[in-house]
Amino acid sequence: MRLPMHFIELTKPDGRSLTLYSSAPITAHDPAPSPSTESIQANPHLRWHPLRGEWVAYAAFRQNRPFLPPPEYNPLAVNADPANPTELPRGDYEIAVFDNRFPSLAPDSHDPPALHVASAPANGRCEVVVFTQDPGAPLHSLSVSRIGLLLQVWADRTTRAARSGTIRYVLPFENRGAEVGVTLHHPHGQIYSYPFVPPIPQRMLEREQAYFAEHGQSLLCRMARTEIEDALRIVYRNEHALAFVPPCARYPYEVWVMPLDPVENFAALGDEQRRSLALAVKAVLLKYEGLWQRPFPYLMTWYQAPLDGKAHPETQLHAEFYPPYRTRERLKFLAGTELGAGMFAMDVLPEEKAKELQMVPITLDE
């Protein structure tokens, strides 16, 4: 039996959609607000990079999006001042998802410019996911049940995207900290729904398919079993989930989080698997936060199966965390070999950083 998830769908004054989610029935909410009543005339487009064989999105209007506004004007706060409306209504919901006002991809993109390289409409979707109404409650401070609800929300958004018939990949992620480019500090993430499988997930899928064809099992599930046998790089483990520093980490404090059994997407998670995965996510974030006893920036990206109508037993749902710091005071900047050649160079061993994280004491409450 699935844990209940309740939702209400609303429309903002500018025409964008807003969905409110909760683990309990939503009994009260205000109408959906918006910082502007004018419809969003976003029309991003794609241009083909012939040397790299990949699409690049262009959305010049994104230059006007909010950038580190003062605390008294938080666009993601609950609406309280009619003269300065925000994105969220008052109500007894837990998580909110709405269409980004400044999207890199949009469902109704049209008429891309004619160029000497191929161009196309950027027909996808960019959504903002607000984790909590509390602007001072980062993801690591939220309950395990709230993180579990977030996993359910990601499943629901992926399922909706699949129904569109035009979306081929859904990527939820969170940027935390100015060091990784965050422009709004209210705890939130984003979901990009692409009309194609982007280059990095595509390369992962190819490697997973090749391994499955040769060995008849999931590459990541095999890696997880090996990590458990080695016990060198495990950051957290419970009955159904594992968090570890991969032996091939490209960032000093990189961590992967995944279910132990094969799970190809969020919707395939059982209740116990989801709770275990939520515990693992919270454990990693608490380890990060406790490492230097200060807010810890990171990029959290979730990978799952593509939306092509096929079964993908080779693909494993998992998160990859990319923290930008290589020491307490030094950032890891991508330079010549990383950006120019695509080969990362590390000056520390994953085992050393795993040991640092293993030594951070945490208390996991519900």
Q: Which of 29, 188, 240, 312 is catalytic?
A: 188
Query: How far apart (Å, rounded) are the C-alpha atoms in residues 111 and 109?
Result: 7
Would residue 110 show up in a list of annotated catalytic residues for this protein? no
Pairing of strands 45-49, 119-121: antiparallel
CB-facing half-sphere around the CA of 28: CA atoms within 13 A: 3
Q: Which residue, 164, 171, 198, 140, is CA-closest to 266?
A: 171
Query: How far apart (Å, rounded) are the C-alpha atoms in residues 211 and 218?
Result: 7
Burial class (CB in 10 A: 0-12, 13-18, 19+), 211: middle
Query: How far apart (Å, rounded) are the C-alpha atoms in residues 349 and 267?
Result: 35
> How do the residues of the chain divide into helix, strand and coil, expressed in percent and rounded to 5?
25, 20, 50
Q: Which residue, 213, 177, 216, 186, is CA-closest to 88?
A: 186
Query: How far apart (Å, rounded) are the C-alpha atoms in residues 252 and 360?
Result: 16
Residues labelled as active-site residues: 188
